[in-house]
Amino acid sequence: MQKKASRRRSTTCRPNKRQIQKRRKFLEEGLTPLVEKYWFQRYDLFSRYDEGIKMDEQGWYSVTPEKIAITHAKRCENATVIDCFAGVGGNAIQFASMCYHVVAIEIDPLKVDMAINNAKIYGVEDYIDFIVGDFFQLAPSLKGDIVFLSPPWGGPSYKWVKIFILDLLKPKDGYEIFQAAQAITPNIIMFLPRNVDLHQVEELCWLSSPPLQVEIEKNYVRSNLKGVTVYFGGTAASSQCGSS
């Protein structure tokens, strides 16, 4: 006796009304598919996003999440901070809320315009001097208590590299970037990819004599590892170079 073939009902997962509304809003903002995943995290990037925050495509995947930027700023209370790759202003805004003065340097004038707009939304524009320029050309004339470095990581593709070496940082390798900052002050904070080579990072403290204190901190947002912050000199806890 021949058995009847059983029919299986195919099911498809349909988006709910809320998901459809979010998708529609994303499309209305005219953003590219590359930044879609970051758009869904927009309130992690800027809690006041809906008040008129502006970002270009690179800004979406480059800006430091606000929770992490606040963590950085807490290390810099009552100091003059130089933000060397300011982008659309995520870190500069949080520094300005806790510091005497912030110098925010960005080579792209369009990003500077966006950063000024964003600083106004947070009410801290009067505490930030925005400069359109190349950090490496400006470095010899800069004075500050703390230098913050969050150089470009090379775009979202950084996460596909098993171990991110300092040579992959832009516009120069991590060693050159660090030495340019070191000429200003030994108190340096670097925000780096979550897959960065930590042994290379620790080696940076030996570029100074005597070696700098160093502290390495992993940064999470909603239980997801987003990056690694390295504190050098006076911004670090008591860990000595090579003993962290």
Return the half-sphere exposure (C-beta side, CA atoms, 13 A cut-off) of residue 34.
11
pLDDT in tens, 93-111: 999 999 889 999 999 999 9
pLDDT in tens, 144-168: 999 999 999 999 999 999 999 999 9
Cβ-contact 198, 214 below 8 angstroms: no
Question: H or E stretch including 175?
Answer: helix 174-182
Give the whole-angstrom CA distance, residue 126 versus residue 170.
Answer: 29
The pLDDT of residue 90: 98
pLDDT in tens, 120-138: 999 999 999 999 999 999 9
Q: What's the average model confidence in pLDDT over 28-53?
A: 92
Give the whole-angstrom CA distance, residue 241 versus residue 94.
Answer: 28
Q: What's the average model confidence in pLDDT over 24-28?
A: 65
The pLDDT of residue 31: 84
Q: What's the average model confidence in pLDDT over 29-33?
A: 82
3-class SS at 105?
strand
The pLDDT of residue 244: 46
For residue 210, whether the previous peptide bond is cis, meaning omega lies within 30 degrees of 0, is: yes
* Token output for 38: 């970051």
Cβ-contact 227, 69 below 8 angstroms: no
Q: What is the 3-state secondary structure (H, E, C) of 220-239?
A: EECCEEEEEEEEEHHHCCCC
Residue for token digits 């008129």? 52
Q: Between residues 18 and 138, which one has the greater pLDDT?
A: 138
